[in-house]
Amino acid sequence: MLFFRRRGGKGEHQGWLLLDLFPKPPSAWMDSYRSWLFEIYIMLDSGRSVLYHPTLSETVTRRLPLIRRTLNAMNRDDFEIVLSEYEWRSVFESLRSRVLAMLGSEADPDLASLVALEYMGIVRLAPFVVDEHVSDVFCDGPLQPLYLDHKVYGRCTSSVRLTERETVALQTLCEAFSGLSATYVSPSLKVDAWIVDRRVRLSIDTAPLCYSGFCFVMRKAGFHKYSLPDLCRSGTITPEAAAFLLSVLETGGNVTILGPPGSGKTTLLNALDAYIPPHRRRVYIEDAVETQDLVERGYRQLKLVVEPFDSTTSARLKTSEIMKVLHRSPDIVILGEIQSPEHSRALFQALAAGLPCIETFHATSPEQAVRRWVNIHGIPLSALEDLDCLVTMARPSPDDVRRVVLRISEIAIENGMFWVNDIFVRGPGGLVAVKGLDKTQAASRVRIRGYGRPFLEVYHHHLKEIYRLYNLQSYQTPTHDLAAVGQGLSES
């Protein structure tokens, strides 16, 4: 049984609401738009940085007395929700249903959601969650302004500063629904939360690890729902490079996506995943679910949720699930982020067993990734020969909204030495092929694996599909030798 009661016990709520803390609309702004029950204003502060200023819509402001009466009625009763299993979304929906019943003739699902969030103590996170322009939200401490990444304006500072009541409520909810506690020994939490019908990933740090006592990062799951052609239009990747990656995956190869945090690794992974034929059996192993839900579109997805790599429990470890995945007969395995030496060892054992995989790894270049695997994670250099393709992502600057593919590479090893062979490289003219695609290791391994079609035939099939379905531009089959260095493809 889950039991909610406001601090102070039963009785009329005479104090302020969290909704009261939303500021009034500014007198001047450079942009504004409506997002759910909020008006968002974009301004420049005195330091010429971008300020994100969420306010209540006029509709909500007029109904604040009704919200206060509803909360008072909830406070007068012991408000109980009985669930066989605690789950964030179920509790939120139960609260919302109860509020709808209390509103009677004035029932409004959106207003009920707002009241439920106020009751839970997290209503001031709602503008960031519902705004489709916002991806990541950061809090460095209580009473410090939240800041965020905006799809149009890049890194913005918000006018919202969370109170102690709000940080305590957020931490309490995360502990209740994760079954974990932030303690002196283990002061961090990583939780999938559900706020206003949207799933978000919360990473929380508390004292003594966090000097300010409380901080968090909130990432909206599935925020970047871009297809490969969408990424082509935005300049993240070219149709030729996208078709090459799809060809590697279709012919049984593996793709490792490299990059620093926030560089678009998961966005590219999801785009590739959505383009793999739906009938392929996908097995996902993630500690925080960041992949898209494609079941309703007819895709075959088995998602396994494991404990975070820094968890103190030994149950549901990512390493053990990777080792057991062979018994689940996958056509392809999506591993999400490879974080620890144990993850890396399990990954390379899976690759050595011939499993096609897609995974992400924090490194700014293939060379750095190799050094991290060999020198820090203890992976034998010879094991890296099982990697087919490494994609390096980058974000030009923290204030830039763009994410781009810098390189697509492969690793060659001989006589105890390694070197990186680039296949596509981003230059002044964009991402271009610098190596004949049929000369790549991925193409040669197609013959070794006994795949029924030549690599370049598969490649041109995918390239035509990208052009045909999304009308990027007219595609013409190159008349030059298909073994040439791909310049004709970039020009066609």
pLDDT at 418: 94
Comparison of pLDDT for 336 and 476, the residue scoring more: 336
For the ranges 113-117, 428-432, 441-445, 483-487, which has the lowest average pLDDT? 483-487
> What is the CATH number for 48?
3.30.450.380
pLDDT score for 79: 60
Q: Is the pLDDT of residue 54 over 60?
A: yes
208 shares a domain with 144: yes
- Do 145 and 215 contact (CB within 8 A), yes or no? no
pLDDT tens digits for range 242-280? 999 999 999 999 999 999 998 999 999 999 999 999 999
Where does a domain end: 220, 248, 281? Answer: 220
Of 199, 220, 241, which residue constitutes the final position of a domain?
A: 220
% of the chain residues with pLDDT over 90: 66
H-state helical runs in 42-122: 58-62, 64-76, 88-103, 109-120
Mean pLDDT of 63-89: 76
Q: What is the mean pLDDT of residues 418-445?
A: 94
211 burial via Cβ count (<10 Å: 0-12, 13-18, 19+): exposed
pLDDT tens digits, one per residue of 311-324: 666 667 888 899 89
Q: How many CB atoms lie within 10 A of CB 375?
A: 9
Predicted pLDDT at 487: 35
16-38 confidence digits (pLDDT tens): 899 999 999 999 999 999 999 99
Of 43, 31, 15, 242, nearest in space to 159 by CA? 43
**Straight-line distance from the first to the last Cα atom of the chain, in angstroms, rounded to the nearest whole number:** 64
pLDDT tens-digit readout, 210-247: 999 999 999 987 655 788 989 998 999 999 999 999 99
State the Cα torsion 260-261-262-268 to the nearest 10°: 70
User: Is 440 found in the same domain as 300?
Assistant: yes
Q: Let me know whether 276 and 170 are in one domain.
A: no
Mean pLDDT, to the nearest integer, of 92-109? Answer: 90
Token pair recorded at residue 342: 């144990």
Q: For residue 431, how many C-alpha atoms fall within 13 Å in the half-sphere facing its CB?
A: 27
> Looking at per-residue confidence, does 222 or 285 come out higher?
285
For the beta sheet containing 389-394, the strands, ordered from the edge strand earlier in sequence to the opposite edge, are 300-305, 281-286, 332-338, 357-362, 255-259, 389-394, 404-414, 417-427, 430-433
- 184-215, pLDDT tens digit by residue? 888 999 888 989 988 899 999 999 999 999 99
How many H-runs (helices) and E-runs (strands) does the chain carry?
15, 20
Which pLDDT does position 80 carry in this prediction?
61
- Given a cut of 70, whether residue 148 has pLDDT beyond it is yes
pLDDT at 195: 92
Q: What is the mean pLDDT of the chain?
A: 88
More confident residue, 490 or 384: 384
371/433 same-domain check: yes
Give residue 48's pLDDT: 76
Same domain, 212 and 234: no
Examine the domain organization and report whether 319 and 205 are in the same domain: no
Confidence label for 11 from pLDDT (cuts 50, 70 and 90): very low
Q: Does position 5 have pLDDT exceeding 80, yes or no?
A: no
Record the tokens describing residue 204, joined without a space.
């929380």
Map residue 446 onto helix, strand or coil.
Answer: helix
DSSP 148-184: EEETTTEEEEEEEE--HHHHHHHHHHHHHHHS----S
Q: Are residues 234 and 370 in the same domain?
A: yes
- Out of 220, 249, 265, a domain closes at 220
> Is there a single domain that holds both residue 147 and residue 275?
no
The CATH code of the domain that includes 398 is 3.40.50.300
Name which residue leads in pLDDT, 13 or 291.
291
Average pLDDT rounded to a whole number, residues 349-360:
94
313 lies in the same domain as 207: no
Adjacent-strand bridge partners of 257: 360, 391
Q: Quick one: 301 and 192 in the same domain?
A: no
What distance lies between CA 97 and its chain's CA centroid?
29
Comparing 55-64, 171-180, 334-343, the range with the smallest average pLDDT is 171-180
What's the token pair of residue 216?
């968090």
**Residue 447: how many other CB atoms lie within 10 Å:** 11
**Predicted local distance difference test score (pLDDT) of residue 429:** 87
Residues 206 and 250 in one domain: no
Could you give the number of structural domains in the chain? Answer: 2
Q: Are residues 206 and 245 in the same domain?
A: no
User: Counting beta carbons within 10 angstroms of the beta carbon of residue 37, is it exposed (0 to 12), middle (13 to 18) or buried (19 or more)?
Assistant: buried
What pLDDT, on a 0 to 100 scale, did the predictor assign at position 84?
43
> Among 337, 374, 373, which Cα is nearest to 358's?
337
**Which residue segment(s) compose the domain that 262 sits in?**
228-491
pLDDT at 2: 43
